[in-house]
Amino acid sequence: MTAFLTLDSLSAATPDRRTLFENLTLSVGAERVGLVGRNGSGKSTLLRIAAGEIAPLAGSVARGGTIGMLVQNWADDLAVSDVLGATAMLGRCARILRGDGSDEDLAEADWTLEPRIEAALAQTGLPGFALDRVMASLSGGERTRVAIARLLLDAPDLLLLDEPTNNLDADGRTAIGALIAGWRGGVLVASHDRTLLEAVDRIVELTPVGVRIFGGGWSAFASARDAARARAGEEPEKASGAMRGAERAAQQRRERKDRRDGAGRAFAASGSAPKILLGRQAERAENSVGRESHLAGRLAAAAAARLEAARAQVEIVNPFRIDLQPSGVPANREVLAMEGATIRVGGRRLGPWSFAMRGAERVGVTGPNGAGKSSLLRLAMGAIEPGEGTVRCAEGRLAMLDQHVSLLAPGETILENFQRLNPGLDAQAAHAACARFAFRNRDAHQPVATLSGGERLRAGLACVLGGARPPWLLLLDEPTNHLDLESIEVVEAALAGYDGALLVVSHDAPFMEAIGVMRQMRLER
């Protein structure tokens, strides 16, 4: 298989020289390779190195073909033809057809471009799309499809994709999946989308303890990773056993020496031994003490080092846990109801919406971008008033976390945010609540502005669920956006065990299934 990209003993670091990964050796040919790792592990840096945008700290990069990267953050004022890189050429062909083309136009004209554009747009689900439309007028899914059409026109040998399904609705995610599945060259994709990762041929994981490469998609990767975690979890007990064994052996040697010393002293006290013999016995005893002390010290040090390494490994490979308090929601209590509720956003009427939630029910909200999913949550929270219809809720027993966890003040620490949002708890209770969300001791004093996406969501959950009266209903708006896979799984495990109700906007089907969503509402534009 021809390699479009070869990385040899590659190492990378942050601008402040913090090591991201070391000694990565990888070749990518006509295959699909998934790239995973915690936020900050170096996935985006690796893609930029592969694209030639930045240089590695060490190692070499060889490119055996053309490389293209999916770009989704196009300026709003660009036309579709600009994004496709076709404006100048289309203008040249138009001038020739009008009869005022220059000699250069005639020499450089590409008459295959227009039909190739039509074919690319049709392949991405945008047949007959107007090329003069500006990007600001497109939905998120349409923007993604136009960006994909650009790649189809360029036809690079290797695609580089950095979290391509973030902020996309189901249609956009489907378009990305189709792009990857149908690409004839190679694909290197950094993603936390487990549905997308299920379709790759290999997964490369960047971890604090090195780079690991797994054959197969997400299911094979998760099985191998969980087995490694189980082995790591057993190692501290084995190391503790080895340390106890070393301590027992040292104690037994000390006891044997004491018995020998006692016998020697009794022999010396009898007066029957020559002085020269007693001197040699004393010398041998001193040498024996030195050897045994040195051996005992070495064995104890080795056992302690093994135990420390095992504990460190567990801390690295095993995710933390979040402990949620019971919400105490009554089984049949109505927590939220809407009857014919509508709102107006930007001159558009959204709704009407009618539904009810009782007890610990879990409801998912899906639909295309722009259908009003986030607005529905704000309406439920009372942040906006309905234009028509009614909204009822369990007053004071609802809480909401939006995509950016904006209830947290970036300039405050986690603890300061918690105390501001839960003024009824004293400092000791606030520390204890933060600890239940794995912010222990000094961790609780981190400024929110320095937190990763997963840490920010965890801090938000601590603030809304860790108070004296946990909410009966928790509303979440795209909670897995910008989270690494490990953080998603931690949040999933916590919410799966939460005894309150959930109203969740998400396009992440595995996440919805994991937290027990049984009923879904699909909103239409």
> What pLDDT is recorded for position 522?
93
pTM of the model: 0.74
> What pLDDT is recorded for position 362?
97
- Residue 208, pLDDT > 80, answer no
Q: Read off the pLDDT band of 125 (50, 70, 90).
A: confident
Q: By the 8 A CB rule, do 148 and 168 touch?
A: no
- Residue 268, pLDDT > 60, answer no
In terms of Cα–Cα distance, which of 24, 34, 69 is closest to 51? 69
47-56, 269-278, 460-469: range with lowest mean pLDDT: 269-278
Identify whether 133 is part of a domain: no
Asked whether residue 412 falls in the same domain as residue 513, the answer is yes
The better pLDDT of the pair 395, 336 is held by 336
Asked whether residue 263 falls in the same domain as residue 396, the answer is no
- Residue 506, pLDDT > 50, answer yes
Cα(430)–Cα(424) distance, integer angstroms: 10
Cα(512)–Cα(493) distance, integer angstroms: 12
Q: Is 267 exposed, middle or buried (0-12, 13-18, 19+ CB in 10 A)?
A: middle
Asked whether residue 285 falls in the same domain as residue 431, the answer is no
- Residue 147, pLDDT > 70, answer yes
Asked whether residue 167 falls in the same domain as residue 255, the answer is no
Cα(229)–Cα(485) distance, integer angstroms: 15
Identify whether 172 is part of a domain: yes
Domain of residue 32, residue span: 1-66+156-216
Q: Per the structure block, which two tokens stand in for 484?
A: 């690494």
> What pLDDT is recorded for position 314?
46
Identify whether 223 is part of a domain: no
Q: Per the structure block, which two tokens stand in for 92?
A: 């040249």
Q: Per the structure block, which two tokens stand in for 498?
A: 């939460």
Asked whether residue 451 falls in the same domain as residue 370, the answer is yes
- Residue 318, pLDDT > 60, answer no
> What pLDDT is recorded for position 418?
95
Task: Give mean pLDDT, residues 77-96.
Answer: 94
Per cent of the chain over pLDDT 90 is 60
Residue type, 177: G
In terms of Cα–Cα distance, which of 504, 436, 444 is closest to 470? 436
- Show the beta-strand stretches assigned E in 279-424: 334-345, 348-358, 362-366, 388-393, 398-401
Number of structural domains found in the chain? 3
Q: By the 8 A CB rule, do 110 and 337 touch?
A: no
Q: Read off the pLDDT band of 315 (50, 70, 90).
A: very low
Q: By the 8 A CB rule, do 477 and 405 touch?
A: no
The better pLDDT of the pair 260, 404 is held by 404
- Residue 317, pLDDT > 60, answer no
Identify whether 406 is part of a domain: yes
Would you say the C-alpha torsion 510, 511, 516, 519 has a positive or negative sign? negative
Task: Find how far residue 17's CA is from the centre of its chain.
Answer: 23
Asked whether residue 295 falls in the same domain as residue 389, the answer is no
Cα(313)–Cα(332) distance, integer angstroms: 45
